[in-house]
Structure 1
Amino acid sequence: MDIQVQSSAVANLRRRPVVVETGGFVAGFTPDTDSPYMNYATPLPGAKPMEQDVAALIGVFRERGLLPRLEFAPQAAPAVAPALRAAGFATEAVHEYLVCTPHTLTAPESADSPRVESPATEEEFAELDAALAEAFGGVFAPSPQGAARLRRTQRSGGAVRFVRDPEGGIVGGASCSPPAEGTAELSGVGTRPAYRGRGIAAAVTAALTEAMFAGGAGSVWLEYSGEGSRRVYERVGYRPQGTRLYLSLPPARQP
């Protein structure tokens, strides 16, 4: 599964507005933001970079004034992490990823389960972006660019879903990348703090996962942020499969 997940990560980065490929790495950039979460690189499965390949990758980020940063499944390219660490890259995080298949999917069946919808108007994309910004504690601010990214995800073959409160406001949602290499990545599951514990995350996760299976994906994978969210995903049918490594080059170590 590591190679499949890594191959899908490569395919997703190649969909970014600006893509640079060098020395066994694919770097994807989003020009409307300098967020390291929207501008990063990943290796090709099985890549074996040399010192000059890593130096070239660093240069790709430096010429744009961005933090050199990578996300990848280390077991899919075992030679990459040692080469990056030798150049001064440090670990930001190691996240476990979970995988759901049509065989393991368990959709919520309660009559009280929230109604899940797909955004169709500019206002709905913008309101969902604002809800997710609040859900993630201000890590990013709501913006026209954020709403546009959600819209592009849906129009490119991925999926976006949300839930409303009784008054009609959007209180949570998530998105899923278009299928690639037989799998798809579900990300950005968030619920406004005042509405947590009502099954919103589980309902949105199940709806997106079902949509990807209907579109031909053989699996869907995601990363979780804590034990609480892990339990939500496991109830829907997600199971542990591997890890993803996040490395970046601290400014003091950049050449």
Structure 2
Amino acid sequence: MITRVDDYLHAVPLSGADAEQVGPFTLFRSTTIWPYYARPVPGSGVTIEPSDVELVRKRCAELEIPLSFEWVVETCPSLGPAAAAAGLEVVQHPLLVLERADCRPVVADARCEVLSADEAVVRQARAVVNLAFGESGTAVGNAGPAERDTAAAQLSDEMVATLRDRVGRGVSVGAGAFTEDGLVAAGTHQPVGSATEIVGVGTLPALRRRGLAAAVTSTLVEHALDNGVDLVLLSAESDAVAAVYERVGFHRIGHTGAAE
């Protein structure tokens, strides 16, 4: 299972990046408006050394792109210590998966549905998620519908065009929860073959603790399972956030690592 997850995570950046081999890593050079990262080649079994990290640092400097790494800790346990020794900040997050038999639909007091590529919808969904991650965690916060509308209007046209293009190409599928306040929670899944990853699920901070994130996640899972996917994965920000996903049927299989 974890090998399959690692293979998926190595394939999914290719919808927005070109791959280049740098030592024991694949460096994903972005072809879109956000940066990507380097990953250890799945199945290589190599022990990463600080000197390997320095190879990527040098190449990123040549390309004038940010230096960052992502990986599955259990398949490459040496990368975290090597990255830390090379002076990078290293974090780990719970890695969870869900298979069809484990799916437990969650319903909230909201209308949940797959989102279109309509510009206004894309703007609001992105604004919701940005505000959610701007006030991280699961506690009720400050940003609400008014802040969402302001943030949506301020999104760049380039960002919105990129998001709409990804929806149109089928590499990104969004879902949202709607109440009397409009779109208040949103998230995305990114299918590659028969696997997909749920990313960027967030609720307007002022409207947390209503089960909206779990309901959006459930909608994304149901869409994925109805469209040829049999393995759904995600990386949670924290144990508290992981508990939200466990309500839908996810279970932990390891950790993802990130360094920058």
Once the two structures are overlaid, the 10-residue window that deviates more, 74-83 or 138-147, is: 138-147
TM-score, reference length from structure 1: 0.81
Q: Which amino acid aligns with 2:227?
A: G
Alpha-carbon displacement from aligned partner over 1:66-91 (angstroms, at most 9, x marks no partner)? 332101002223454455455x1434
- Find the counterpart in structure 2 of residue 127 from structure 1: 124
Is the CA contact 2:13–2:36 (under 8 Å) kept in the aligned structure 1? no
Larger displacement relative to structure 2 (132-141 or 118-127) = 132-141
Q: Is the contact between residue 110 and residue 177 of structure 2 (CA under 8 Å) also seen in structure 1?
A: no
| 2:195 partner letter | T
Aligned-partner Cα distance in 1 for 2:241–2:52? 37
Counterpart-to-counterpart distance in 2, 1:191 and 1:174: 9
Equivalences for residues 175-254 of structure 1 within 5 A: 175-180=188-193, 182-248=194-260
CA RMSD of aligned residues (A): 2.7
Separation in 1 of the partners of 2:66 and 2:80? 17
**In 1, Cα distance between the equivalents of 2:122 and 2:229?**
24
Do 1:96 and 1:242's aligned partners in 2 also have CA atoms closer than 8 Å? yes
Give the letter for the 1:144 counterpart: D
Single out whichever of 43-52 and 192-201 deviates more from structure 2.
Answer: 43-52
CA distance in 2, matches of 1:149, 1:89: 33
State the identity %: 26
Q: How many residues align?
A: 241
| Matched residue type, 1:101 | E
- TM norm structure 2: 0.80
1:95 corresponds to 2:93: yes
| Structure 1 portions without partners, runs of 5+ | 249-255
Instruction: Measure, in 2, the Cα distance between the counterparts of 1:109 and 1:194.
Output: 19
Q: Which runs of 5+ in 2 are unaligned?
A: 137-150
- Distance change in 2, residues 1:227/1:52 (3 Å): closer
8 Å contact from structure 2 (residues 186, 216) kept in 1: yes
Structure 1's 82 and 225: CA in aligned 2 closer, same or farther, altered over 3 A? closer
Q: Is the 8 A contact 2:171 2:190 kept in 1?
A: yes
The answer on 1:6 being equivalent to 2:6 is: yes
**Cα shift at 1:142:** 3.6
